[in-house]
Structure formats: structure tokens, C-alpha cells
Structure 1
Amino acid sequence: MRGKERYAVSFQPACSLCAQWKQEILNHHTNRHGDVHWGNCKPWLWPSNSWELAKAYMPRGQTNISGPEECDAVALLNLFNFCDHFSSINKKKIKEVITCRNELMHSSEMKVSSLWLKEFGKKIQNLLNEFENVPEVAAAGTKIEKLLSSDWAVCVPGEGDQPDGLEEETEVYLTESQIHEIEMELIRQRLEEIYLLAEEQEMLSAENLHRIQMVKDFLKDNSDLNTSFEADLQRLEGLEKEMQSQKISLDETKKENPEEETNEACLLKKIKLVA
């Protein structure tokens, strides 16, 4: 386990005050046996900055995020799910949206159906209903509803024809730049997940390597995205080569030391028999 990862899930307070804050965070964590990504936090700010406390309940990768306006939706969803300060929110509704978000981000074809999008919209609205007393939520809910009810046809300014599939009375459509912006943000989030996995794991699984390949193929198949994410594409290719090199090295080590692999298998068999 790398040093960065050790700090992410294990934190030894430097003073008694930090120790008290750490215990307080754990006292309010709904998953007492789950990992807490302490690496998200700046402990010296805990007494004065509630956002630094909130980040302890979020997924890894939030270290430099200074406020809710900068973080992605999944970070806030995890905060709602794992901090008992939000126990009044229906956990089932939170988990349904988290599941949909994961399906979207991990889609092997990097696309979803209209039916899926409709169901996603319903689940988001169900969750937003839990925040009906928050004035900003009503406006956000309307915006989300319009976004998801669009058929994602592109309206080119200056052209008189209505985009195919849209009814004039609804006037719900997205401009090309809006679609591009949403697409870019989703890809950024997916890339960030891949980079974090690569930092924390010595060897990526075959599934994660497949995800890298899918993202690469998607970027290469879309010239506009290929240009925007050129540096990321090179980084992904570098990751692939590094992982392939590590796999080759590991395979060669096993060939040179077959007894170790045999001993490990025997030990595993003994453990199973004892269990």
C-alpha cells in the first residue's frame, strides 16, 4: 500500500484536539467499518471550517476542493449517505441516485437509453423532494427536469427549422455548446476516477484496464473531444503501458519462482480447510 493511500484510510492525530475531532467525525459516521478518506481533509482547519469536516464523509480526491460549488454530485451524495447529520433524508433515495450515477459513469458503451434517463430523472426528483424546505432546490429541480426531458437534439442558432423530434410548444432543447459542456464534465469525472485508482492500486484490475480502453476509444472516435483531452489521452496510454509492463514483470517473476506460487496455493488451501 502506498504512502498516500495509507494516509487516506489511516490518520494518526498530531495533537489531542485533532484526536477529539477525529473521534467526533467517526461518531457521526453511519458506516463505522468503512474506510474514511482522511486524505481529503486538512485537520488543522477542522475547528474553524465545517467543509473540511464534511470532506471526511466523501470519496477520495477531495483534498483541494474548498467548497460544495467545486465538488461533483457524488461527493455530496456520499456526505448525505454517511453523515448522520443528514439522517432525516431517505437513504433509499440517496442510494438510488448513487446507483444511477455509477451506471452512467461506468457504462461500457459510454451511453444510456432514453428510458434510463427518464428513470434517472424520477429518482433525482424524488431525492430533491427531501429538500423541499431549501429555496434553491426548487429552482435546481426545475432546471434538472428541463435538462432531462430534452431529447438532446442540437439546436443550431440562426437556423429556422425546429430540431427533429422536438415539439415547438415545449421549447426544451439543448444547444451544441450545452451538450458539449455536459459531455466534457462527465468525461472529466470519469478520468479523475481512473487517475485516483491508478494512484492507489499497484495493479489495476482487468475491468479497470478495460474502462481505460473504452475511454480511449471514445475520445479517439470523437475528434472534438480528442483535441480537448489530448493530454489525458496520452496519460491514459502511459498508464496502460505501465500496467502492462508491471503485468509482464509479475508473470516473469512467477515463472522464475514457481515454488512461491505453489506454496501460496497450498497455504490458501490449508486456510480454507481450517475455516
Structure 2
Amino acid sequence: MVRKELVVRLNDTEYTNWLKAGRCLLILKDGLHPFINHHMRAFHGDLLNQNTLLRKPCETSSCRSRGNKLSRVCRVCSAWQSVILRHHRQPDAIVNWDNCSPPSWRTDHWEVAKAYMPRGQGKVKGADQCDASALLNLINYCDCFQSVDPKFVREVIQYRNELMHSCEMRMKDKWMKHYHTTLKHFVRQFSHVPQMATVGQEIDEMLTADLSICVSGLDRLDGVECDSVHQWETNPDLISQWEAALLQERLQELLHADDDDVTKTQDTEQLKSMGGFLQANRDLGERFSAELQAINSLEARK
């Protein structure tokens, strides 16, 4: 049975734009991660071949970050740190060392990759577990991705941030048009990657799809008579899964404490807006009840 709340949301054009744009990021991520994983594995192998010190194990097996800094690391892990910074396009930017386990740098290429990503990647074990933001930042900051123009990567990151930081979760048609153009430019950079061959087409189809749903028993939605169960061929349950995945990513970003003081790091306006949105949509409030409780607890502590 299609929930009435979902029907109402999908008949809001600007909310549907937000959902479509977010779905495009998931499509992009699925196309990117096999290529990125292969590329980082090769990069890691090259680093080991070029520096004999990097092939040695951590001398203490306990080197770690404290907050966002590496302190008292052994000479092997210090050498890894220097190499990672040498291949960072912006070494003066904040590097999230707390994403990494330094003793694993020698054996795990993905522990190296996480140094180029936004915070909160500590428990992520591979490219397939990353969201689009993590993969895009890796391409942007690690200079091993020489075949990709960083300008196009940064443009997609900018649109992704605007999308995920939208308090109202509603995007205008004009924004969508520019977003679509930016994605096309980015995807074109990967014409040589087999897994990316269909990504452009899938994005085109998603951005032009009609996600509105008509349900018997509801007289009119957006001025359209509804006498059929589905207006679009995609199963509403599938659309609901897409929506949940996007909202989950946003909630994780908002509520991600990562040993920091949450009340100091979260955007109050966005938390309040998200809490109100979940409460106003009973189906989502039920699905994300734990996250809603966390939001309410944070609000109560202020």
C-alpha cells in the first residue's frame, strides 16, 4: 500500500527535484566506486614500490590520531604521512587523519584513500561503502587522479553540498538545469571507464522522469484526476527506498558526532528543520524514529 504522505511529497515538484538530484548522486557513486577502488589500489602499489621504508610494518602497532592530528607516530607512519601530504593537492587544507588507522597504511590501500576524504570515514572499509561526497573529495584532493579535471569535480561537490544542506529539501527547476549540465561535464571525464558507460544515460532518465504517484481514493493531486494506482512505471516502494537512502545520508551527516561535541558542530537550523520534516511525515518519522529521537534530545539539551 502506498502511504499518503509519500504521495503528497512526490506531488511537490521542488521536493521531487531534491529527491531526483540526490538519486543522481547515488547513481554516480555506484558508477565511480569500482574505478576508484582499482585506481587507489594501483596508486598504493606504486607508493610501496617507490619507497622501501613504506614496506616496513608500523614499529609500535599503536600509532593513531588524536582528534584531527597525528602525534608520536613511528618513523614508518611518519613517512606514510609525508607521502600522503605530498600527493595532496591542497596539503595546507584540513586532513582528517582520524579517518585512518596508520598501522594499516602499508597493507590497506583504502586506509590511505580515507586521508583525502571528509571526516567520519573511520569505519568505512571500501569504496562501495562510501557516499558520493567521500569519493568526489578523494578525486579532488588526491593527485593520482590526473585524468580528471578537478574543476568539474569541485563543481559537482558544490552542487552536492547545496543539495544536502538545503533546509527545505526543495530545489528549483533552474537549479536542476544547471546541476544536470554540471553532471554531464563530470561524467564525460570518465568516458574510458566501463562502469561509467551507462551513468550519463541513467542520470538523464532520472532527471526527466515523472515520479508523481496517483492513488485510488485520493480525488485530486496537483489538479490531476487520479483513477489509477501508479502514474509512473517505477514501483513506489523503490522510490521510497531511494528517498530513505538519501535522507539517511543527510541524517548521518547532521548527527555525526565522531567523538566531537555534537552541540558545537551541528547546524541548529538544519537539525530543527529535519526534525520538523520527519514529524510532519509520519511514515518517515516511523522509519527514522531513532534519528528523530536523537534530534529531539539535542534540541532539549540546548
Counterparts of 2:239 and 2:105 in 1: how far apart (Å)?
38
Please show how residues 207-246 of structure 1 align to structure 2 within 5 Å.
208-242=267-301, 244=302
Q: State the alpha-carbon separation in 2 of the partners of residues 226 and 125 from structure 1.
A: 35
Q: Which residue of 2 aligns with 1:18?
A: 77
Q: 1:98 aligns with which of 157, 165, 173?
A: 157
Note closer, same or farther for the CA distance 1:92–1:219 as it changes in structure 2 (3 Å cut). same
The answer to whether the Cα contact below 8 Å between 2:140 and 2:150 also exists between their aligned partners in 1 is: yes
Residue 51 of structure 1 contacts residue 66 of structure 1 at CA under 8 Å; is this kept in 2? yes
Cα deviation, residue 40, structure 1: 0.8
Work out which structure has the larger RCO, using CA pairs closer than 8 Å and 6 or more positions apart in sequence: 2
The match for 2:130 among 53, 71, 89 is: 71
| RMSD (Å) for aligned C-alpha atoms | 2.6
Which residue in the other structure is 2:252 paired with?
192
Structure 2 CA distance for aligned equivalents of residues 87 and 134 of structure 1: 14
After superposition, residues 39-54 of structure 1 pair within 5 angstroms as: 39-54=98-113
2:128 & 2:206 partners in 1: Cα distance?
19
How far does the alpha carbon of each residue in 1:192-217 deviate from its partner, in whole angstroms, 9 at most, with x for none?
Answer: 11222585346437x81111110001
Match of 1:36 in 2: 95
How many residues get paired? 227
**What TM-score do the two structures reach when normalised by structure 1?**
0.75
- Secondary structure of the corresponding residue to residue 268 of structure 2: helix
Pick from 118, 132, 135 the counterpart of residue 194 of structure 2.
135
* Rg (Cα) greater in structure: 1
Extract structure 1 runs of 4+ deviating beyond 4 A.
Answer: none
What CA distance in whole angstroms lies between the structure 1 residues aligned with 2:67 and 2:181? 35
Output the CA distance in 1 between the equivalents of 2:173 and 2:187: 21
**Structure 2: runs of 5+ lacking an equivalent:** 1-64, 216-223, 225-230
Structure 1 residues without counterparts, runs of 5 or longer? 1-5, 157-163, 165-170, 245-275
Structure 1 Cα separation of the partners of residues 128 and 119 of structure 2:
17
Using the size of structure 2 for normalisation, the TM-score is 0.69
| 8 Å contact kept, 1:90–1:130 | yes
Structure 1 or 2: more helix by fraction: 1
CA contact (8 A) 1:150 1:173 kept: no
Query: Which residues in structure 2 correspond to 1:131-210 (within 5 Å)?
Result: 131-154=190-213, 174-196=234-256, 199-201=259-261, 203-204=263-264, 208-210=267-269
Matched residue SS, 1:131: coil
